[in-house]
Chains A and B, each alone.
Chain A
Amino acid sequence: MDIKFILDEIEKADPEVYEKLSPRRDILKSFGSKVAVAAIPIAFGSLFTKAYGKTTSTVIDALNFALELEYLEYNFYYSCTNSAILSALIPTIDKAAFSTILANELAHVNFLRNAIHNAGSTPYTPTHYSGDPVTGSPIVPAAYDFTAGGAFPVYSDYATFLTVSQAFEDTGVRAYKGQAGNLQSDHNILTAALQIHSVEARHAAHIRLIRRKAGAADAPKPWITGNTAPAAAVQANYNGENNTMQLTVNITSLPAVTGTVSSIAATESFDEPLDSATVAGLVAPFLLP
Chain B
Amino acid sequence: MKTQNESHSLMAIPDDVPNPSRRHFFQLSAGLAGVGVLIGACHKSSSNNGVNLGSGDIGVLNYAYALEQLEAAFYTRVIASQYSGITADEVALLTDIRDHEVAHREFFKAALGTSAIQALSVNFSSIDFSNRAAVLGAAKTFEDLGVSAYNGAGRLITSAEYLLVAGKIVSVEARHAAYIRDLIGYNSFADNSAMGSNGLDLESSPNTVLAAASAYLNTKLDASNLPNN
Residues of A at the B interface (CB closer than 8 Å) are 93, 96-97, 100-101, 103-108, 111, 173, 176-177, 180-181, 184, 187-188, 190-192, 194-206, 209, 221-223, 246-249, 251, 254-257, 261-262, 265-266, 268-273
Report the stretch among B115-123, B125-133, B172-180 that lies at the interface: B172-180
Report the stretch among B18-26, B31-39, B153-161 that lies at the interface: B153-161
Shortest distance in angstroms between B141's beta carbon and chain A's nearest beta carbon? Answer: 16
**Hey, which chain A residues are within 8 Å of B167, CB to CB?**
176-177, 180, 194, 197, 271, 273
Partner of A247, one of B102, B165, B203: B165
Check if B217 is an interface residue, CB within 8 A of chain A.
Answer: no
Cα-based distance from A198 to B150 in the complex (angstroms): 10
Shortest distance in angstroms between A173's beta carbon and chain B's nearest beta carbon? Answer: 5
Partner of B199, one of A96, A106, A251, A262: A106
Are B182 and A209 in contact, with the CB atoms below 8 A? yes
**Hey, which chain A residues are within 8 Å of B100, CB to CB?**
223, 265, 268-269
**Hey, which chain B residues are within 8 Å of A188, CB to CB?**
155
Residues of B at the A interface (CB closer than 8 Å) are 76, 93, 96, 98-104, 106-107, 110-111, 147, 150-152, 154-155, 160-165, 167-179, 182, 186-187, 189-191, 194-195, 197-203, 229
Are B150 and A256 in contact, with the CB atoms below 8 A? no
**CB<8 Å pairs between A and B, sample of 13:** A107-B198, A180-B164, A195-B151, A198-B151, A198-B170, A205-B176, A205-B182, A221-B93, A249-B111, A265-B96, A270-B169, A271-B168, A273-B164
Cα-based distance from A196 to B203 in the complex (angstroms): 11
**Hey, which chain B residues are within 8 Å of A209, CB to CB?**
178-179, 182
A-B interface, 8 closest residue pairs, ranked by CB to CB distance from nearest = A107-B199, A201-B174, A205-B178, A195-B200, A269-B100, A254-B106, A201-B171, A198-B174
For B192, give the chain A residue with the smallest CB separation: A100
**Hey, which chain B residues are within 8 Å of A111, CB to CB?**
198-200
For A109, give the chain B residue with the smallest CB separation: B199
Are A206 and B190 in contact, with the CB atoms below 8 A? yes
Are A205 and B175 in contact, with the CB atoms below 8 A? yes
Given A93-B187, A269-B99, CB of A202 within 8 Å of CB of B201: yes
**Hey, which chain A residues are within 8 Å of B182, CB to CB?**
205-206, 209
Are A181 and B96 in contact, with the CB atoms below 8 A? no
**Hey, which chain B residues are within 8 Å of A187, CB to CB?**
155, 229
Are B99 and A265 in contact, with the CB atoms below 8 A? yes
> Which residue of A188, A246, A261 has the most chain B CB atoms within 10 A of its CB atom?
A246
Cα-based distance from A278 to B102 in the complex (angstroms): 31
Cα-based distance from A162 to B47 in the complex (angstroms): 53
Are B154 and A261 in contact, with the CB atoms below 8 A? no
For B156, give the chain A residue with the smallest CB separation: A187
Cα-based distance from A164 to B79 in the complex (angstroms): 34
Cα-based distance from A262 to B99 in the complex (angstroms): 9
> Which residue of A176, A180, A198, A256 has the most chain B CB atoms within 10 A of its CB atom?
A198
**Hey, which chain B residues are within 8 Å of A256, CB to CB?**
99, 102-103, 106
Cα-based distance from A181 to B161 in the complex (angstroms): 8
Shortest distance in angstroms between B119's beta carbon and chain A's nearest beta carbon? Answer: 13
Are A251 and B187 in contact, with the CB atoms below 8 A? no
Shortest distance in angstroms between A15's beta carbon and chain B's nearest beta carbon? Answer: 26
Cα-based distance from A270 to B107 in the complex (angstroms): 11
Cα-based distance from A103 to B198 in the complex (angstroms): 9
Are A222 and B103 in contact, with the CB atoms below 8 A? no
**Hey, which chain A residues are within 8 Å of B191, CB to CB?**
100
Cα-based distance from A12 to B177 in the complex (angstroms): 49
> Which residue of B150, B171, B187 has the most chain A CB atoms within 10 A of its CB atom?
B171
**Hey, which chain A residues are within 8 Å of B201, CB to CB?**
194-199, 202
For A265, give the chain B residue with the smallest CB separation: B99
**Hey, which chain A residues are within 8 Å of B190, CB to CB?**
100-101, 104, 199, 202-203, 206
For A208, give the chain B residue with the smallest CB separation: B175
Given A249-B107, A256-B103, A257-B102, CB of A270 within 8 Å of CB of B187: no
Are B189 and A202 in contact, with the CB atoms below 8 A? yes
Cα-based distance from A195 to B173 in the complex (angstroms): 13
Cα-based distance from A93 to B165 in the complex (angstroms): 35
For A193, give the chain B residue with the smallest CB separation: B154
**Hey, which chain A residues are within 8 Å of B103, CB to CB?**
251, 254, 256, 261, 265-266, 269
**Hey, which chain A residues are within 8 Å of B154, CB to CB?**
180, 190-191, 194
Shortest distance in angstroms between A191's beta carbon and chain B's nearest beta carbon? Answer: 5
